[in-house]
């Protein structure tokens, strides 16, 4: 079957340069590895419109995961937040709204007023929150992004690239909760006075592209039509970005072309699964001297559907002292295809190991002494 596919590709080659050719810049990556599948002008700086809100959402999700805020928090709505124009859910000044409702309205309806309210709640002001956004960009390693606001309305010195947007999206989809919101087509925001605002997803692709569950659209006169989209089929999640499109229809068409190319021509090869035991590690001063090593995540490689690989791996162990918890990184696996290192994956312990008490240390030393270890 692979020979037949190869023959067809030779006779009817795919013109990859024609994919998403309406966009001023574009990129397609695989999410777990960050591998770039296709790109065009992906490092060209440009206005990004409401795709800005991916970074706003990323910081909110990280604060949630760290326990600094919770979904049930009641967020004060300032005059500043309520007065935001553009996409909005008409928040009332001097009221309070559940954090989850605001998060949902940003994810689904790209609500500027909700984005500002969340930023003010987390950092005290939008200016302080923007500092968090730029700091987080640096931590991710982005060199062509600078934020001036939390919503994406056109402003001088507010820019990014298709590549950087894809990297932010890659971080954001690690927080799977966000996909519960971004995959909804419609919902309602209930206000303190009992009235409802109907919100409809700005990303119409979620209604008809199989596996697509996010992530963020954008439009301003300067940025044109933009979208960062993500779709998952089987064990492979792709992220695409198109920027500077002339209209919504072309934006969606180019996005589908990118995703179709990725899903048609690539697959994820799983070499080892999360929690697979790959060896053991010694724990100094531990209640157990030795414990199993397991993978923190699936050990995978993105490959062409026509490709066959001969994989091997080496285990690198850190020197570990108790206590150690499951989830702590204690080493890594280097994955090779032939003689070429292609990626690395973190290792952790299969179980928690506490520090030995005085009596256990005394017994261990006595045993080692009798075995001639000293």
Residue of 31, 42, 47, 50 marked active site:
50
Residue of 31, 42, 47, 110 marked active site:
110
* E strand residue ranges, the chain: 25-30, 36-40, 74-76, 96-98, 186-190, 196-200, 212-220, 224-233, 236-245, 266-272, 277-284, 290-295, 299-304, 311-317, 320-321, 331-337, 340-349
Contact 223, 49 (CB under 8 A): yes
Alpha helices, DSSP H, located in 141-247: 162-172, 177-182
Q: Compute the distance between CA of residue 102 and CA of residue 183 in angstroms, rounded to an integer.
A: 16
Tell the residue number behind the tokens 């490959």, with chain if given. 303
Q: Compute the distance between CA of residue 226 and CA of residue 165 in angstroms, rounded to an integer.
A: 11
Active-site residue, 53 included: yes
Active-site residue, 290 included: no
Active-site residue, 31 included: no
Q: What's the token pair of residue 170?
A: 């890659």
Q: Compute the distance between CA of residue 109 and CA of residue 187 in angstroms, rounded to an integer.
A: 9
Residue of 53, 104, 216, 296 marked active site:
53
Q: DSSP secondary-structure letter at 49?
A: G
Q: Which residues of 244-280 are buried (b: 16+ CB within 10 A; e: fewer)?
A: bbeeeebbbebbbbbbebbbebbbbbebbeeeeebee
- Find residue 237's DSSP bridge partners: 232
Supply the residues annotated as catalytic: 50, 53, 110
């Amino acid at each position: 079957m692979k020979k037949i596919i190869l023959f067809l590709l030779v006779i009817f080659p795919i013109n990859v340069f024609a994919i998403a050719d309406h966009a001023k810049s574009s990129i397609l990556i695989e999410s777990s590895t960050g591998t770039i599948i296709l790109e065009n002008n992906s490092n060209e700086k440009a206005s990004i419109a409401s795709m800005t809100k991916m970074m706003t959402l990323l910081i909110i999700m990280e604060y949630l995961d760290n326990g600094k805020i919770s979904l049930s928090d009641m967020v004060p709505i300032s005059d500043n937040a309520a007065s935001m124009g553009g996409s909005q859910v008409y928040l009332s000044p001097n009221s309070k709204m559940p954090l989850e409702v605001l998060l949902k309205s940003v994810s689904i309806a790209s609500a500027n007023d909700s984005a500002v309210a969340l930023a003010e709640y987390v950092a005290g002001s939008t200016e302080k929150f923007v500092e968090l956004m730029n700091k987080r960009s640096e931590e991710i390693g982005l060199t062509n992004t600078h934020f001036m606001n939390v919503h994406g309305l056109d402003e001088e010195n507010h820019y990014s690239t298709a590549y950087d947007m894809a990297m932010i999206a890659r971080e954001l989809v690690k927080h799977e909760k966000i996909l519960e919101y971004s995959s909804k087509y419609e919902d309602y925001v209930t206000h303190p006075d009992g009235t409802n605002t109907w919100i409809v997803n700005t990303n119409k692709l979620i209604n008809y592209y199989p596996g697509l569950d996010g992530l963020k659209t954008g439009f301003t006169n300067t940025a044109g039509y933009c979208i960062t989209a993500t779709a998952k089929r089987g064990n492979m999640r792709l992220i695409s970005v198109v920027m500077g499109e002339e209209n919504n229809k072309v934006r969606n068409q180019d996005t589908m072309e990118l995703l179709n190319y990725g899903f048609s021509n690539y697959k994820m090869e799983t070499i080892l699964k999360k929690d697979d035991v790959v060896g053991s590690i010694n724990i100094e001063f531990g209640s157990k001297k030795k414990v199993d090593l397991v993978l923190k995540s699936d050990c995978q490689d993105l490959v062409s559907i026509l490709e066959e690989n001969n994989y091997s791996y080496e285990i690198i162990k850190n020197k570990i002292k108790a206590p150690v918890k499951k989830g702590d990184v204690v080493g890594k696996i280097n994955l090779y295809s032939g003689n070429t290192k292609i990626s690395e994956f973190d290792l952790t312990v299969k179980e928690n190991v506490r520090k030995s008490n005085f009596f256990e240390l005394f017994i261990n030393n006595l045993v080692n002494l009798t075995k001639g270890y000293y």
